[in-house]
Amino acid sequence: MLKNAVFLDRDGVINRDSSDYIKSWEEFEFLPGSVDAIADLTREGCPIFIISNQSAVGRQLASRAKIEQIFYNMRKIVESSGGRITDIFYCPHRPEDHCECRKPKPGLIFRARQKYNIDLATAVMVGDSLTDIECAKNAGCGYTILVESGYKKIDPEARRRCDDAPDHITPDLRHAADWIIQRLAAPSAYDHA
């Protein structure tokens, strides 16, 4: 069974997000420290999976080929820096399609679990929205981290009150990776009460 998997949202976690969607490689910009963070997690033996809503496809703003080209280029740059993305799972649908794969539904994580026999109890989800956190909780992930690097700002009081409050809140993926690595070194310090 695959342990210590790290699920990463893409837009707002790895790269800058946009209210206009990321529709081409020319619009893609890595957030500071994100590539190094993935490389550090890889060195620690964490399998990395991207779990991403990409409704630009369903909205006919970008083709699947364009979205997959972005993922391909992103992976190559991550690999050239010593990181490894094990696999990418994305939902191309619009919210009104009511599919089973669009976050906060857990379909993408379940797909990854089935393909790779992932132990979700040891898995961590890193996202920039409460939808990502809800998805991870719906799937049964052991830990959730909310990063504040997305373009949508979440009211601090709302995120602490919500039923699906994250286990940890941090500025960005760099800090999230540090927290995950510390948890791996001393897991009992992060056990849920």
Q: How confident is the model at residue 99 (pLDDT cuts 50, 70, 90)?
A: very high
Quote the pLDDT of residue 108.
98
Quote the pLDDT of residue 193.
38
Q: What is the pTM of this model?
A: 0.92
Average pLDDT score over the chain: 92
Beta bridge mates, 87: 49
Query: How far is it, in rounded angstroms, from Cα 157 to Cα 106?
Result: 25
Per-residue pLDDT reduced to its tens digit, 35-70: 999 999 999 999 999 999 999 999 999 999 999 999
Cβ-contact 128, 135 below 8 angstroms: no
Write out the H or E segment, with its range, that includes residue 170: strand 168-170
Cβ-contact 48, 83 below 8 angstroms: yes
Report the amino acid identity of residue 85. Answer: I
Q: Please report the DSSP string for 50-116 in residue order.
A: EEEE-TTTTTTSS-HHHHHHHHHHHHHHHHHTT----EEEEE---GGG--SSSTTSSHHHHHHHHHH
- Tokens 């990463």 belong to 8
Q: CATH 3.40.50.1000: does it fit domain 6-188?
A: yes
Residues annotated as part of the active site: 9, 11
What average pLDDT does range 176-186 have in this prediction? 92
- Those residues whose C-beta lies under 8 Å from the C-beta of residue 170, and which sit 6 or more positions away, are 145, 146, 147, 148, 176, 179
Quote the pLDDT of residue 118.
98
DSSP SS3 for 181: helix
What average pLDDT does range 180-189 have in this prediction? 80
**Does the structure show a pLDDT above 70 at 169?**
yes
**Does the structure show a pLDDT above 70 at 163?**
no
Where do the domains of the chain lie?
A: 6-188
